[in-house]
Amino acid sequence: MQPINTFQAKAVALPIENIDTDQIIPARYLKVTDKNGLGEALFTDWRGEPDFVLNQPYAQGAGVLIAGHNFGCGSSREHAPWALQGFGFQAVISTYFADIFKGNALKNGLLPIVVDAATLARLTEQCLANQTIDVSVDLANQQVHVAGETISFPIDAFSKHCLLHGVDQLGYIQAQEAAIQAYETSHAARVNTVGV
Amino acid sequence: MAKTLFEKIWDAHVVQAADAESPATLYIDLHLVHEVTSPQAFTMLRERGLTVRRPSQTLATMDHSTPTTPRGADGIIPVTDEIARKQLNQLIQNCSDFGVPLYNLGTENQGIVHVIGPEQGYTQPGMTIVCGDSHTSTHGAFGALAFGIGTSEVGHVLATQCLLQQKPQTAEIRIDGTLRAGVTAKDIILAIIAKIGVGGGTGYVLEYTGSAIRALSMEERMTICNMSIEGGARAGLIAPDEITFAWLKDRPHTPKGEAWDAAVAYWRTLPSDEGASYDLQVVLNADELAPMITYGTNPGMGIPVTGNVPAPSDLADDSQRMALDKALNYMGLQPNQPLIGQKVDVVFLGSCTNSRISDLRAAAKLLDGKKVADGLRMLVVPGSQQVKRQAEAEGLDQIFRAAGAEWREAGCSMCIAMNGDQLQPGQYAVSTSNRNFEGRQGKGGRTFLASPLTAAATAINGHIVDVREIL
Ligand code: SF4
């Protein structure tokens, strides 16, 4: 994974709450065996509507999505962050994210930015009034600079470290090989009887 | 200190404890794999020259993109979708290259991943179980910590049998009382989600407790835990008890003889201790529950079947009002309208929520000697090949066929509409599955989630009914 720290991007607003993974990328696009081409299918059923935000010329090149409450609920498909990134998004702003989606996003360098409800409402309003707003993200300081204000956001220490340094989480687990072996030995009665 | 069931399982699986900088490393006992969320993970293993660390703790099946159409004269289930075939072949190749056991399409034990794990006795109390599939929460019915993971994590578990995990919070969902006739486990979980909302469980593991839960069969408990994810929860749990042990005994992959006795002795230590505390508690009374049905485009949009669709104008919050407005628009429903009497085009009985033998029996009992309404299509899709064989041995397939329903091979089918089984745009379905998201059952399709009883009663009448009136 490429390290990320600061980036600037144009944000667009999609103020719908509980946007689920089936909207982000419908199941019929999950027959792929790689990660390619999913950006074109992002929100594909909603993109059938000419008015849909991502169909507007001003939305092209957007890097931040300002969503409604509770983004990414539903399935575990990692195709959801892959599709968002495929379209060009680097971050999503919401009041909270579904657990599995959030984990998947962080592992791919798509930043889930959590803000409070009042902030989300304010950002959405500003964005809708201007079609887009410019956002600059500073991960090291956990801040978003937008429309003259600075907003802090939370992120767990480990995910932040991995994003800032491009740490490979699998490599991090592999480095614990001795502990894994010790665990398997001391719990042999259980792990050896799973017996698939 | 008094511990919850969750804490006991968690503590027993910590390989490396969390500290201020990093999450815990958790050992995974059982890793279930299917064709849709695994290919990129196997590719990663190949790119890095890695192996599957514990093939004996890994089991693959095919369920999502597999057709459920009847077998050809050669006994083979025909796969006509080339892209799906490529994905299925990729799973065969991956399992063969990495030594992972696979229940191939149409073979004896193949089926929906969350049906076969328990059925074969792989799923056992006290385990950690993961799968690249959000409904892994199903296995929590046995008192196992079971949750869905993404494809990157599938790769982590394949390579190391471990996962990095932030410890979730715990919630007790307490349901006391007795279910009335016609009210089922599906109605309990739909009522819970209607109460807490689709994001209400985010960050939590839910433990279902109370006399109404203790009275449920294992299959009913699976229905409840299955939909924990629809409330946003990381996992659902039910403490193991005598009902659990009786259900598991003599399954192909449960311990036998002395090992069984030792396992049961351990399992008995798992239930939450007296005085253990949870971060949150939600209470429901089973006596007050009615058959539930959803009217909208997420599983939290549910009401008693006798209720009316809510009106956006009654909602004060802008965001909620817009969401409801959008949902009703998609569903083609009016504010304040009743759902009873709503015409339905398709009834789907299946999915990892409600495709086990008890679900089929309950529906067959209502359909016995009756006909599916004119112009209505009913699909009955058993959750596994074993469920299918059992149903056929009991003659349930004959009841369904005689009623005019389609009797299918095992798989996810119309729960996910990526295998040929799907709604046409604008069609209405009553479905025993778990998600009513826009397009979930086919682009433009409209889903009402309900129990197998409500589904069967609807199939007979051609429109939504209160099943209690025909019991
Ligand atoms: S039946 Fe539906 S919810 Fe269950 S595993 Fe299959 S697609 Fe997922």
pLDDT of residue A189: 78
Say if ligand 1 is within 6 A of residue B356 CB: no
Nearest-CB residue to A23 (from B56, B320, B437): B437
pLDDT tier at A196, thresholds 50, 70, 90: low
Q: Give the one of A16, A20, A103 whose C-beta lies nearest to B437's C-beta.
A: A20
pLDDT, one tens digit per residue, over A43-53 is 999 999 999 99
B235 neighbors B147 (Cβ within 8 angstroms): yes
Q: Considering chain B, what is the average pLDDT of its residues?
A: 97
Is there an atom of ligand 1 within 6 Å of B416 CB? yes
Nearest by CB to A20, from B25, B149, B298: name it: B298
Round to whole Å and give the CA distance between A5 and B113.
39
Q: By percentage, how much of chain B surpasses pLDDT 70? A: 100
B69 lines ligand 1 (CB under 6 A): no
Q: Nearest C-alpha to atom 2 of ligand 1 is from which residue?
A: B415
Strand partners, B61: B34, B103
- Specify whether the CB–CB gap between B88 and B35 falls below 8 A: yes
Distance CA B445, CA B422 (A): 8
pLDDT at B231: 98
Mean pLDDT on B417-421? 96
Q: Which of B351, B387, B432, B447 to mutate to test the pocket of ligand 1 (most atoms within 8 A of CB)?
A: B351
Q: What distance in angstroms lies between residue A85's CA and the mean position of ligand 1's atoms?
A: 25
The per-residue pLDDT for A195 is 62
Give the atom of ligand 1 at the shortest distance from the alpha carbon of B434: 3
Check whether A132 has a pLDDT greater than 70: yes
Q: What is the pLDDT of residues A156-178, one digit of tens each?
A: 999 999 999 999 899 999 999 99
Closest-CA distance, A4 to chain B, in angstroms, reads 18
Chain A contact probe: residue of B151, B270, B418 with most A CBs at under 10 A: B151
Cα–Cα distance between B223 and A50 in angstroms, integer? 40
What is the pLDDT averaged over residues B18-32? 96
Q: Are B188 and B231 spatial neighbours (Cβ–Cβ below 8 Å)?
A: no
Instruction: Look at residue A2 in the predicted model and tell me its pLDDT.
Output: 87
Interface test with A, best of B167, B169, B437 (most A CBs within 10 A): B437
Residue A191 has pLDDT above 80, yes or no: no
Q: Tokens in use for B166?
A: 């932030």
Inter-chain contact B22–A26, Cβ cutoff 8 Å?
Answer: no
- Is residue B447 within 6 Å of ligand 1 at its C-beta? no
CB contact under 8 A, B90 and A34: no
Q: Do B435 and A74 touch (CB under 8 A)?
A: yes
Residues 6+ apart with CB under 8 A from B123: B30, B117, B129, B139, B142, B144, B146
Confidence (pLDDT) at B183: 98
Residues B64-81 have pLDDT tens digits of 999 999 999 999 999 999
The ipTM (two decimal places) reads 0.96
The percentage of chain A sitting over the pLDDT mark of 90, rounded to a whole number, equals: 93
Confidence of residue A193 (pLDDT cuts 50, 70, 90): low
Contacts of A26 in chain B (CB under 8 A): 439, 443
**Spatial CB neighbours of A34, under 8 Å, sequence gap ≥ 6:** B39, B40, B43
Atom number of ligand 1 nearest to Cα B351: 1
Q: Which residues of B touch A180 (CB under 8 A)?
A: 15, 25, 27, 160-162
Mean pLDDT in residue range B52-74 = 96
Model confidence over A1-30: pLDDT tens digits? 889 999 999 999 999 999 999 999 999 999
- Average pLDDT for A124-151: 97
Q: What per-residue confidence (pLDDT) applies to A27?
A: 96
Q: Best of A21, A25, A28 to disrupt the B interface by mutation (most B CBs within 10 Å)?
A: A28
Report, as an integer, the average pLDDT of B417-441: 98
Pairs of residues, one from chain A and one from chain B, whose beta carbons lie less than 8 Å apart: 202
pTM for the complete prediction?
A: 0.97
Please give the pLDDT value at position B318. Answer: 85
pLDDT tens profile B159-198: 999 999 999 999 999 999 999 999 999 999 999 999 999 9
3-state secondary structure labels for all residues of chain B: CCCCHHHHHHHHCEEECCCCCCCEEEECCEEEEECCCCHHHHHHHHHHCCCCCCHHHEEEECCCCCCCCCCCCCCCCCCCCHHHHHHHHHHHHHHHHHCCCEECCCCCCCECHHHHHHHCCCCCCCCEEEECCHHHHHHHHHCCEEEECCHHHHHHHHHHCEEEECCCEEEEEEEECCCCCCCCHHHHHHHHHHHHCCCCCECEEEEEECHHHHCCCHHHHHHHHHHHHHHCECEEECCCCHHHHHHHCCCCCCCCHHHHHHHHHHHCCCCCCCCCCCCEEEEEEHHHCCCEEECCCCCCCEEECCCECCCHHHCCCHHHHHHHHHHHHHHCCCCCCECCCCECCEEEECCCCCCCHHHHHHHHHHHCCCCCCCCCEEEECCCEHHHHHHHHHCCHHHHHHHHCCEECCCCCHHHCCCCCCCCCCCCEEEECCCCCCCCCCCCCCEEEECCHHHHHHHHHHCECCCHHHCC
Residue B273, min C-alpha distance to chain A (Å)? 23
